């Protein structure tokens, strides 16, 4: 036979019940916030807008661009600057060459030297031609190319970025 519950026990049980609901409402999002970085997050691939085609009118001229990617590794966030050059090869907006500005030797950033029409790497004096081919210095291969790109309806050039 069950015993009748006292008013005092009923009040205690009610307080525990309500306290449990409040604790779950506050605690679950807090725990989610704390463990979310360890579960992944931070996309590794994305379409990155790098400029308007109308701002890059000259054929053969390298137009620099840059963007920042944030990598999430657990609770650690690392921002990395990326960049390159867009070179139109004709009036056709699809006929473009997009070079990465990272030197293929040890990763320094190359700069365009207009009077010589070469990309120069300041770290070990390498030079690349306007197509990114090595002219001189220690780089083992041409500048990397962003082969996957698209032009949106608004005329924005985007590259597909994928972390290696
Ligand atoms: S990093 Fe560019 S030549 Fe060495």
Q: What is the pLDDT along the chain (164 residues), one digit of tens a residue?
A: 567 777 778 788 778 877 778 777 776 666 655 555 554 445 688 999 999 999 999 999 999 999 998 888 888 888 989 999 999 999 888 899 999 999 999 999 999 999 999 999 999 999 999 999 999 999 999 999 999 999 999 999 999 998 76
* Secondary structure E strands in the chain: 45-52, 62-73, 76-88, 96-100, 111-113, 118-121, 126-128, 134-136, 149-151, 156-162
Distance from Cα 9 to the centre of ligand 1, integer Å: 77
Distance from Cα 126 to the centre of ligand 1, integer Å: 6
pTM: 0.73
Testing ligand 1's pocket by substitution, the residue of 106, 125, 141 carrying the most ligand atoms inside 8 A of its CB is 106
Determine the 3-state secondary structure of 32 from DSSP: helix
* CA 161, chain centre distance (Å): 7
CB-defined site of ligand 1, < 6 Å: 103, 105-106, 108, 121, 123-124, 126, 137-139
Distance from Cα 136 to the centre of ligand 1, integer Å: 11
- On whether the 45-162 domain is CATH 3.40.50.1820, my answer is no
């Amino acid at each position: 036979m069950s015993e009748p519950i006292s008013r005092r026990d009923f009040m205690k049980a009610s307080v525990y019940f309500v306290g449990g609901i409040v604790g779950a409402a506050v605690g679950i999002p807090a725990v989610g916030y704390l463990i979310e970085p360890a579960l992944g997050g931070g996309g590794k691939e994305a379409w990155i807008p790098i400029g308007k085609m109308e701002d890059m009118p000259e054929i053969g001229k390298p137009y620099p661009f840059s963007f920042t990617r944030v990598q999430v590794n657990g609770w650690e966030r690392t921002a990395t600057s990326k960049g390159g050059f867009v070179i139109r090869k004709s009036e056709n907006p699809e006929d473009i060459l997009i070079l990465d500005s990272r030197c293929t030797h040890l990763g320094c950033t190359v700069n365009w030297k207009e009077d010589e029409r070469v990309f120069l790497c300041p770290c070990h004096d390498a030079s690349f031609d306007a197509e990114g081919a090595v002219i001189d210095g220690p780089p083992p291969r041409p500048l990397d190319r962003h082969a996957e790109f698209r032009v949106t309806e608004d005329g924005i050039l985007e590259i597909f970025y994928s972390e290696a």
